[in-house]
Structures are given as structure tokens and as C-alpha cells.
Amino acid sequence: MAPLVAPLLRRGGVCRSCLFTLAKGVSPIQRRNVTNSWYKKQGMALIEWEKRAEEIKKGNIPNTWDMLEERGYVKDIAGSRETIREMMRLKRVKAYVGVDPTASSLHVGHLLPLMPLFWMYMHGYGAFTLLGGSTVKIGDPTDRLKDREPIAKADLAMNVTKVHFQLKKLWANVETQARRYGYEKEWAWQRAVVNNNTWWNSVTLLEVLRRAGRHMRIGPMLSRETVKRKMSEGDGMSFAEFTYPIMQGWDWWTLFNQQKVQMQIGGSDQYGNIVAGVDIVKTVRDTEPDEARRIPRDGPIDDPAGFTVPLLLDSSGVKFGKSAGNAVWLDHFMTSTFDLYGYFVRRPDDDVEKLLKLFTFMPLEAIQKVMAQQMEDPSKRVAQHCLAYEVLTLVHGEEAAKEAREQHQMMYNKVPLPVVAGAPGAEYEPPVGPTTLNNAPRIDMRLPRSLIMGKSIGRILYAAGLASSTSDGHRLAAQKAAYIGGLPGRRPGKGEPMNPSQLTWNPVTLWFPQETGKYLIDDKLLILRKGKHNVRIIQVISDVEYEESGEEYPGMLFKGRIRELKALFKDLKEGRKTPEQMREYASRIQETYPSRKSPPEGRLRAELRTLSRIEERRNQEKRDAEYAERESKRVEALDRRAEILERREEEEMKRQEGEDQGAEAKKQEGEMNRQEGEDQRTEAKKQEGEDQGGEVKKQGEEEGSERP
């Protein structure tokens, strides 16, 4: 009865129904008065839909079901294809996709069943995404041989919070994509993110067994392939896992009863659960004991139906959404936008056309044009880049998609990537301008227990990056402009942690420091929020563990100057700073804070003096080495110069000797030529004299013979 005391004391104008709701720790359902204006809009929307149905019948407008089949979204159908087709023509059907938060982020595989839901929303149908805050505690046994590990309360709260905001982010980007491709939003468009913990906290096991369990037969449930494999090949099936299809079917019935959700869309492994859900919804609807609350049925088009999307495998047989055995996450702090872009750019040519149809909102004509460009030069991977850009625009927004595309082009065009130097904790800093779902800082962080349990809420908000200073954090608390994850409706001093399966908020006020500890989930998790999208999931760890991690937070004691000193020490050790610069900084700190000398600062100053002496000796040794090196180089230069001069002198001597030898040879040759000429002339004269003497002698003899 203790939880009921506080609400009773402050009852005031609270009705009895809301009183019990607050006592259970569940957010009261917001109810709005129905006005004549609402009925008028409903009537106009119904008339417009009837006109649309006639246009589809005439063939002027395509049926949305045909579009889903043409793009490849339909694998197995729970119900009749023609019935579903006619249902979607005549009725503004509402559909839902369920997601169990088994991890802290969605992955690429979750996008496939969500895409037909997004398409239906853009064509005017109701769309709901169901977050399994309760069913995740049991775990879907489909295609598993071993039981899932029980999920801790803190992990469950973190997963529910992060996946909830991821789904909101996806829906916000779907709205942007709808406007981008010319879909004009109408008043009748409806979408919502719901948590099944909302009704599982209030429904009793007896009611579920009485309404749904008594009509379920064990034979068909045992004949399911999942049950057979787990019992024959696995570690057996627990009763909780065996009843998981009943829980999923009850979720559908609740949505069917409260929101008229008639269709369920699931992954390729969910066909058995969808078929079981169809049977449960029909049974519970038709066996309603109160005739006034019984939902009328006019024909097959009023029955529940569903379908599954195909299982995607790439050309190498690897399940789509896996990279080297790991999931490709939609949280950009777990899988960066650059890596997500690269994952889709690496898709094989044989798969890219199918993926463009499944994961983008591009018209089929535009896809054919892209594929024509792809065929002209497959090496450019035009289709893959188009696919990657469209997926990132859906998941992270257009700005992130453009940035990832530019980074990819820089990387593979050999252009240097810009280096962004982020200070410690930069990923938690609020963006410039309004905080949106696409630019919200990182959600999860760690802080020491002494801060959470012993400091004011203003200092905690500052440390979490939700306030610009401690005083700003106090202003936020005083104005109740920040929120803490906790049971709603609790007054200061009576706080309680929220149900881990469901995200609920309490406004923060200026309470005593020990009050914050009452909101810890499982004694180790605290959730804070400022505005709509700026959320922090804080894991509380011991002071020793936080100190060993080397992490820091804004406002950390003795960390303003100490952090800068440590950075300067690092620069000094790596040679980017000099001891003189360090001493100048220390002097400046001493002048600014003459009386503030913490023990860590004293140790750092002693380390500074030691490092300065070591650096001075190192510099002296360096100067000596440089002087010796310069002297050695000077001696080597002189030796080289002497060697060059000696070589030149030797070459000059050889040249002179060569010239002398040439002149002597030339002189001897001239002398020989002159002597030879003189000899020739002497010989010629001698020969001429002999010839003349012979001639005279001959004439004399002739004259003598003529005489008597």
C-alpha cells in the first residue's frame, strides 16, 4: 500500500482511474475530447478514400498492394492475396511492425520489414511501430537452438530508450523523404511508436489464458518447425518461450481492439507467429462476452492479415546486414556513417537493382535510369553510390549522407580527408543551432558514482553535457526544463526509478543530492533528457574504475588546468613544446590562481621540474652531438677539397707533359723532314752532275772518233 499513500495525499482533482494508474507507475493515457471538427475531417477523409478506391478500380491509380509486390516486399501471406488487395483498396488499413530491443541499436536487417510500413504510411495508411518492452524479457525462440540470456534491468532500460529514439528518428526522416518525392501529407495520415509494456503492466495472466489461451491447441503449436528443432537439436523449450507467440498475438489483439490495426508485417522468420496472431485476434474478437464491446465483422476484409518480407542473402550467401560476422548498426556511434555508406557501395552488381527497390523510395522509372548508367560503366558503381546515399538519407538525414559521400570520394579519389580535432567528450557536445534527431549528441556515457550520489543535479546536468555550466544546470532544474527517467507523478523526495521496460519521465527540480540516487535503475543507470531529443543514458561506475579509464567530464574537479597541463606534457615528451613554454604556462597559472594548488597539481609541477632537467640535459647532449657532427662534416669537406685540388694538379701535370711530348715529337718530325729534303736535293744535284759529266764525256768521245 506504500506506493498509494503519496497519490492519495495529493489527490486534488485526479480521478480514481488516474489515481490507480499513477500507483502502478504507468503513464496515464492522454485522452482528447472529440469535437465536431474532428468528425467533419473524418468524414471528408472517408469520402476522399472512397474516391480513391473507385479510381483504383478503374485502373487510373495503382493499388498499393500491387506496388509492394512489384518492389519485392511480399514473401509469405497470412490470409488471401485477393482479400488483402481488396482490403487495401477499400479501407485505410492500419499496419504495424514489432521490434524487440534485444540490443542497444537497430541494424540494417530491421529496415526491410519497416520499408513496406513506410510506403503504406506515405500512401495514407496507418502505421505503427511496436517496441517490445515486455516481450523482450521472454525472447523470441524463432530459429534459435539455445535460450537467450536474461537481460539485466539496466541493459533493458538502455535498449528501450535508444531504440525508441531511433524509431522516432527514422519516422522524422520518412516525413522528409515523403516531401522529397512529392507525397503531400494529409490530415488522415497516422503513425505512432508504442510500447507493449503499456498493456502488459495492466493485463493479468488469467485474462490472457481465458481469452486467448483456451482456444489455442497444443498440437499445431508443437508442429511448428521452431519448436521441433529446439526440442530435438537444441536445449529444449521453456514454457515462457512456448507462449511467446501468444504474447505476440495478444499485442496484435490490443492494437486491433484499441487502434483498429488490422495488418502485421514481419521478417521472413515471423510467418508462424503472424499466422498464430491472426488466429488469436479472430478468436478473441469473436468470443467477446460483452456484445456491446464486440467488434463487428462485415466480411473477410475486416479480418486480420499479414505478410512477411523475403530473407536477403548476398551473392556469396551471407545474410544481409552482416559485415564480417557483425551487424551493421543504424547508430552512427556504433557503425559510422562512412562505414555504413561503404557497406552499401560494396554490394555486388547482381544485387544492387533489387536493393534499390527494397531500401529506397525512388520510383521504378528512376531506378531503371540509374541501372542504365550502371550498365554503361559498372566500374563507376553509380547504382551502389545511389543506394548508399538514399539509405543514409533515410537513416541519418540528408546532411550526414552528403558528408559520407564526400568523405568516400575524397578517400578513393586520393584526396586528403580533413582532420577534425575533437576534444575529449566532443561527441557529447550539443550541436550549433537546434538539436534534432539527426544531429543529437551521443546518448550513452559513463560517470563516477561520487558525482551522481554526492553532487547537485545542476552539476550532474553540466557533467552530462546537458547544460553549459553548473549554474545553467541549476536554472534548468529550477525551471523544470530537464527530465529524469522515473515513475511519473512523483514529488521531490519520493522519486522512484522508471520501469525498465517503458520509457517514462519526471521533471527535474532542485532537490538534495541524495535524491538523484533514488532514480537509479538497477543501481547503475540514470537517464536524463533536455528538450525533445537531447538524451543521456548514464552508466554509473565506481570512482576507481572511472579514474583508471582516463575519461573526463565537464566540471571535473582540478581538471580544467590539469587537463591542459597533461596535454602540454604530452607535447613536451613528443618534442612539440619546449620547457620554456611549459614554465611560461606554469607561471601564468600561478599568477591567475595564486592560492589554488591541489595535490595532483603539485605532483604535476614536480614532474614538470624533473622533465625540465631531463629535457635540458637532452638538449645539451643534442647540442654537443650537433657540434661534433658539424666539425666532422667540416673536416670531411676540407679533405674533399684537398683531394679535389690534388687531383686537379695531377691532371694539369699530365696535360703539360702531354703538350711537351707533342711539341718534341713535332720538332723531331720537322727536323727529319728537313734532313730528308736536303738529302733528296743533294742526291738530285749529284745525279744531275753525274748526268752532265757523262754527257760531256760522251760528246768528247764522239768528237774524238770523228777526227782522223
The CA distance from 181 to 528, in Å, is 36
Which residue has 520489414 as its cell numbers? 113
Whether 123 and 210 share a structural domain = yes
End-to-end CA, the chain: 198
Whether 266 and 383 share a structural domain = no
Whether 304 and 319 share a structural domain = no
Asked if residue 132 lies in contact with residue 96, where contact means CB atoms within 8 angstroms, the answer is no
Residue 46 lies in a domain: no
Please, which pLDDT band fits residue 673 given cuts at 50, 70 and 90?
confident
The CA distance from 259 to 327, in Å, is 33
Sign of the C-alpha dihedral computed for residues 380, 383, 384 and 389 taken in this order: positive
Relative to beta strand 326-327, strand 261-266 is: unpaired
The CA distance from 265 to 260, in Å, is 15
Whether 529 and 605 share a structural domain = no
Please, which pLDDT band fits residue 433 given cuts at 50, 70 and 90?
low
The predicted structure's pLDDT at residue 142: 79
| CATH number of the domain that residue 213 is part of | 3.40.50.620
Predicted structure pTM score: 0.70
- pLDDT per residue over 460-488, tens digit each? 998 888 888 888 888 988 888 888 888 77
The predicted structure's pLDDT at residue 126: 94
Please, which pLDDT band fits residue 384 given cuts at 50, 70 and 90?
very high
DSSP conformational letter for 330: S
Most confident of the ranges 132-146, 260-274, 495-509, 540-554: 260-274
Which contacts qualify for 616-620: CB closer than 8 Å, 24 or more apart? Answer: 616/579
Over 50: is that where the pLDDT of 420 sits? Answer: no
Largest Cα separation within the chain, whole Å, is: 199
The SS3 call for residue 82 is: helix
Over 60: is that where the pLDDT of 322 sits? Answer: no
Whether 340 and 279 share a structural domain = no
Taking residue 624's Cβ as centre, other Cβ atoms within 10 Å add up to 10
**Of 505, 530, 549, which residue is a domain's last?**
549
Task: Compare 188 and 324 and report the one with higher pLDDT.
Answer: 188
| 508 phi/psi in degrees, rounded to 5 | -80, 140
Please, which pLDDT band fits residue 571 given cuts at 50, 70 and 90?
confident
Over 70: is that where the pLDDT of 283 sits? Answer: yes
Residue 28 lies in a domain: no
Instruction: Point out the least confidently predicted range of 216-220, 444-448, 521-525, 647-651.
Output: 216-220
Whether 474 and 344 share a structural domain = no
What one-character-per-residue DSSP string does 606-671 give? HHHHHHHHHHHHHHHHHHHHHHHHHHHHHHHHHHHHHHHHHHHHHHHHHHHHHHHHHHHHHHHHHH
C-alpha cell at 218: 497444443
The CA distance from 94 to 126, in Å, is 4
Please count the structural domains in the chain. Answer: 4
| 380 phi/psi in degrees, rounded to 5 | -75, -15
Over 80: is that where the pLDDT of 305 sits? Answer: yes
Whether 178 and 244 share a structural domain = yes
**Of 637, 669, 698, which residue is a domain's last?**
637
Q: CA separation (Å) from 197 to 369, 447, 547, 583?
A: 46, 29, 38, 61
- pLDDT per residue over 72-131, tens digit each? 999 999 989 999 999 999 999 999 999 999 988 999 999 999 999 999 999 999 999 999
DSSP conformational letter for 429: S
| CATH number of the domain that residue 477 is part of | 3.10.290.10
HSE, side-chain direction, 13 A CA sphere, residue 121:
24
Whether 100 and 226 share a structural domain = yes
> Comparing C-alpha atoms, which of 155, 110, 159 is closest to residue 265?
110
- pLDDT per residue over 585-606, tens digit each? 667 666 655 544 555 556 666 7
Please, which pLDDT band fits residue 241 given cuts at 50, 70 and 90?
confident
Residue 213 lies in a domain: yes
Residue 278 lies in a domain: yes
What is the mean pLDDT of the segment spanning 223-250?
82
Whether 302 and 319 share a structural domain = no
Residue 264 lies in a domain: yes
Residue 3 lies in a domain: no
Task: Compare 215 and 53 and report the one with higher pLDDT.
Answer: 53
**Helices and strands of the chain, counted as H and E runs:** 27, 13
Asked if residue 87 lies in contact with residue 93, where contact means CB atoms within 8 angstroms, the answer is yes
What residues form DSSP beta bridges with 306?
78, 264
Residue 142 lies in a domain: yes
| CATH number of the domain that residue 379 is part of | 1.10.240.10
Residue 475 lies in a domain: yes
Relative to beta strand 322-323, strand 444-448 is: unpaired
The CA distance from 158 to 137, in Å, is 14
Q: CA separation (Å) from 219 to 212, 223, 514, 552?
A: 16, 6, 56, 59
Please, which pLDDT band fits residue 143 given cuts at 50, 70 and 90?
confident
Q: What is the side-by-side order of every strand in the sheet holding 505-507?
A: 444-448, 534-541, 525-530, 482-485, 505-507
Q: Domain containing 305: what range?
A: 62-289+298-309
Which residues touch 575 (CB under 8 Å, ≥6 apart)? none
Whether 116 and 229 share a structural domain = yes
Please, which pLDDT band fits residue 423 given cuts at 50, 70 and 90?
very low
The CA distance from 686 to 663, in Å, is 34
Instruction: Point out the least confidently predicted range of 76-85, 279-288, 532-541.
Output: 532-541
Which residue has 537531447 as its cell numbers? 534
Asked if residue 424 lies in contact with residue 432, where contact means CB atoms within 8 angstroms, the answer is no
DSSP conformational letter for 28: P
HSE, side-chain direction, 13 A CA sphere, residue 3:
14
Whether 544 and 571 share a structural domain = no
Element housing 705 (H / E): helix 599-706
Whether 73 and 209 share a structural domain = yes
Over 60: is that where the pLDDT of 146 sits? Answer: yes
